[in-house]
Amino acid sequence: MEQYVVPVEWQEGYVKVLDQTELPERETWLEIRTAEQMWDAIRRLCVRGAPAIGIGAAYGVCAEMRRHEDESASEYHRILNDTIDYLATSRPTAVNLFWALDRMRKAGEACGNLENTETRVKLEEEANAIEKGEEAACIAIGENMLHLLKDGMTILTHCNAGGLATVRYGTALAPILLGKERGINFKVYADETRPLLQGARLTAWELQRAAVDVTVITDNMAGMLMAQGKIDAVIVGCDRVAANGDAANKVGTYSAAVLAHYHGIPFYVAGPVSTIDMKTPTGADIPIEQRDPEEVTCGFGRRTVPEGVKVYNPAFDVTPHELITAIVTERGVVMHPDREKISALMGE
Ligand code: MRU
């Protein structure tokens, strides 16, 4: 068994996707052959986590376009653009989705009058380059983050920003997994992450496979552990970083950042530059996905809220840059991020 997870794989004509809604109970792999199937897999969180959503959508375009090779070139390009527009409606917050689809659109445009079969090859090469780029970014993030940490530290993480959310090493989990390979050991507390339990179901599953010392806590226990001096650093992933360094991530991240600030604990945000969106000026401009109230009222098959009671279920929150000790990317570490430092990182 490979120790690291590759949740989305291209298989010459279809996309193999690990259905994360079934974890940790079952490892079920979906065969995705159409854009509709990929849209549904992204919307239902079968494939989830910002970089993995981007990779999944890019391969979703490839799977769909395999079905239209017999069309005229102009019709093929029309379908390509419609497919990209359609997949972009699957989820609103993680900017990697739009970044990856934009790359696919440009790759298609660059093909001009090529035969459809040649365009298809170029599209598949681009999707593969997106995947390989994100995998390399994860390793570089892990390396950069390791400089900020010390052997034996105890880390709190929220949601899942591991291989399941990317490819293999993940972002927030990359230093932990890379460290493990090098005999640098961390203890990890994984926030359960209500309402869909990405921390309990996914982070714990990944870290256990990698033989990392992981303990699951409910989200409301983090403050107590910090007060007891049991947390040395908080590391989280991100779904979109605005141009001023504000970072959207799974709802509950902001609470963890406020707690870390109060207790004087470093709060690190890990993410590839594909998650930084210079077109979004501040965190207030990041669209926050609202999800089905049933995720809260009937989470895992049992009703836990009386019928008819109102529910508010935003999937993400925004941590203001003032609360972030550093944003760690493959290009380097941005300490105390602000607009100028993010601009410099992005070369703008
Ligand atoms: O709703 P999800 O499970 O897609 O949310 C995922 C997160 O919030 C992750 O922390 C984020 O995408 C970073 S993944 C490297």
Atom number, ligand 1, closest to the C-alpha of residue 250:
8
Cα–Cα dist 301/240, whole Å: 31
CA-based nearest residue to 59, from 90, 84, 85: 84
Q: What is the domain extent for residue 202? A: 145-346
Statement to judge: residues 91 and 213 lie in one domain: no
Cross-sheet strand order for the sheet of 276-277: 276-277, 240-242, 247-250, 316-319
Specify the CATH number for the domain of residue 316.
3.40.50.10470
CA 158 to chain CA mean position, Å: 12
Statement to judge: residues 187 and 318 lie in one domain: yes
Statement to judge: residues 15 and 51 lie in one domain: yes
Statement to judge: residues 210 and 110 lie in one domain: no
Domain end point (choices 138, 164, 184): 138
pTM above 0.85, yes or no: yes
**Does residue 337 form part of some domain?**
yes
**Does residue 168 form part of some domain?**
yes
**Does residue 331 form part of some domain?**
yes
pLDDT attached to residue 3: 78
Bridge-partner residues for 236, per DSSP? Answer: 269
CA 277 to chain CA mean position, Å: 14
Across the chain, which has 348 residues, the per-10-residue mean pLDDT values are: 88 96 98 98 98 98 98 97 98 98 98 96 98 98 98 98 97 98 98 98 97 98 98 98 98 98 98 98 98 95 95 98 98 98 96
Residues with CB under 6 A from ligand 1: 45, 48-51, 94, 159, 161, 165-166, 170-171, 198, 237-239, 249-250, 315
Statement to judge: residues 155 and 188 lie in one domain: yes
Statement to judge: residues 125 and 210 lie in one domain: no
Cα–Cα dist 59/187, whole Å: 35
CA-based nearest residue to 193, from 45, 310, 94: 45
- What dihedral do alpha carbons 22, 25, 31, 37 form, nearest 10°? -10
CA-based nearest residue to 246, from 210, 285, 202, 300: 285
- What dihedral do alpha carbons 49, 54, 60, 65 form, nearest 10°? 180
- Number of compact structural domains in the chain: 2
Longest dimension (CA), the chain: 66
Task: Kindly list the catalytic residues.
Answer: 239
Statement to judge: residues 107 and 160 lie in one domain: no
Question: Phi then psi for 31, rounded to 5 degrees?
Answer: -105, 110
DSSP letter, residue 9: E
Ligand 1 center to residue 125 CA distance, Å?
A: 26
Ligand 1 center to residue 147 CA distance, Å?
A: 24
Ligand 1 center to residue 215 CA distance, Å?
A: 19
